[in-house]
Amino acid sequence: MSEVNIPKRKEKCENCTKQCNKKQSGDGANSHQDSVQVNGQVHEGSQVLLSACLACDGCVSEEENLKISQQSLEQVERVLALNKKCDASKHRVLVASVCPQSLPFFAVKFGLDISEAANKLCGFLKSLGVQYVFDTTLAAGFSILESQKEFIQRFRRRHHDSHAVPMFTSSCPGWIRYSERVLGSLVTPHICTARSPQQIMGCLVKDYFSKQQKLSPGKVYHVLVAPCFDKKLEAVREEFYSGLLEARDVDCVLTSGEIYYLMEQRKVRVEELDSVPLDHVLGEAGDAALVRHEGRGSEGFLEHIFKHAAKELFGLDVHEITYKNLRNRDFQEVTLERDGETLLQFAAVYGFRNIQTLVHRMRTGRVPYQLVEVLSCPGGCLSGRGQAESEAGGRVDKALVQQMEEAYSSLPVRLPEVNPTLHTLYQDWLQGQDSPRASALLHTQYTRQIHTQPPHMQWDARLQDVLLVGPESALCCLVSTKPCHGR
């Protein structure tokens, strides 16, 4: 097996942390007078920018740090070890859910097609003691359908609700954290309330699947394999913990790279692994073949919502979508026109450089779009730093990403609207598509979060348009001339 670089969450330049420690201890009382050069301009009296720290998770609260520390291989291995030692009545049932954007990583690393790689991964996880292995495409289908429905509702009330459009997608935890902690009411009312595929999968496992297996939610230990470190922060959000059941929807998030690192540690040979088919939430009645949704490497919210809205609102069938590059490949727009009139205008905005452009346009009231698909990683979810970082560290391995894109595109596309399993679960699990239960389990709310910040951590409006001095994947800390590399 070829080696893979597993970056630690805190392995960065650490400038923000060092400066915070200095100032809080009084050792660096005069350090705030230092100057910073950003894009050739010198800014005196620079400060640790709250937005920058939040974007790269250099500073998190002690409580968050404790929760994130439990999102680790060591924690999973501890649960597995306890299962071997304790009485069977005290065993926890381990369930793993794998994001479809993680599967291409294993396909490339294993040198197999994506379906066979998924079976080998399933075989490895079950050899560890995991009882069930699902993929999260089903949960993504729920998220897409709920997002489509919400967009139609928002579009129809756009003339009397200033927050109805643009609607921003909500599946990226990096974008959500940045919106809640930094942008606040400028953006949060515009964020789609549909839960992300990860958290819907959490509900599906802990609420529906556990009942089918006659297990309490606390008896199930749910691990999710994702391409992105930020998914760990999403899993520990308060709204995704049930005090009544004393259980999280997702107990632990591991990145694709962390799973591969575990395989390397155990000197696993792929050819010696059993090929085991993935499990299905509905048992044998579930789907047998892997499928994907539209989109070049993420869940394709923009494409699905665009086609659905064209049909629902204007009676137009859209079969192919043409993207127009604006600033770059990660800032694109899609337009629906009829008789010279623009009916819909959507945008895909990936990476914090482009997000900053979007934010600037929001502040000046110059956003023409009704929907924006926002992802913090340039290139989308396949480029998540939990699987796409180069062995040198700090940069995306472009060759690996290209191979993953080719593997991902080899999967057949199926619209969630025609997935019979979704229709079955809407009735059997959620008591109908528009039921209060569906609303409670498939949606959440995103609001401005009050973030207590030290005096030296302040948003500097002067630097709003020059925040990005490092790679596109992070808002870097402006505390020295050396930019941090974020995730």
For range 414-440, the mean pLDDT: 95
Q: What is the pLDDT of residue 22?
A: 43
* pLDDT tens digits, 199-235: 999 999 999 999 999 999 999 999 999 999 889 989 9
Distance between CA atoms of residues 88 and 92, nearest Å: 9
Q: What is the pLDDT of residue 299?
A: 81
Predicted TM-score of the model (pTM): 0.83
Confidence class for position 287, pLDDT limits 50, 70, 90:
low
Q: What is the pLDDT of residue 395?
A: 83
Distance between CA atoms of residues 22 and 236, nearest Å: 29
Q: What is the pLDDT of residue 36?
A: 36
Q: What is the pLDDT of residue 32?
A: 39
Q: What is the pLDDT of residue 467?
A: 37
Q: What is the pLDDT of residue 451?
A: 55
For range 20-24, the mean pLDDT: 43
* pLDDT tens digits, 33-68: 344 333 333 333 334 343 344 444 445 666 777 777
Q: What is the pLDDT of residue 343?
A: 97
CATH number of 142-195+293-417: 3.40.950.10
Tokens of residue 125, six digits? 């996880």
Q: Which of 3-7, 122-126, 133-137, 145-149 has the lowest mean pLDDT?
A: 3-7
List Cβ neighbours of 359 (8 Å cut-off, separation of 6 or more).
183, 186, 187, 464
Q: Would you tell me how many other CB atoms lie within 10 Å of the CB of residue 431? A: 12
Distance between CA atoms of residues 121 and 178, nearest Å: 33
CA atoms 320, 325, 329, 334: torsion sign:
negative
Q: Domain residues of the chain, as ranges?
A: 62-139+196-290, 142-195+293-417
* pLDDT tens digits, 313-349: 999 999 999 999 987 889 999 999 999 999 999 999 9
For range 402-419, the mean pLDDT: 93
62-139+196-290 belongs to CATH 3.40.50.1780: yes
291-318 CB burial, b ≥16 within 10 A, e <16: bbbbbbbbbbbbbbbbbbbbebeeeeeb
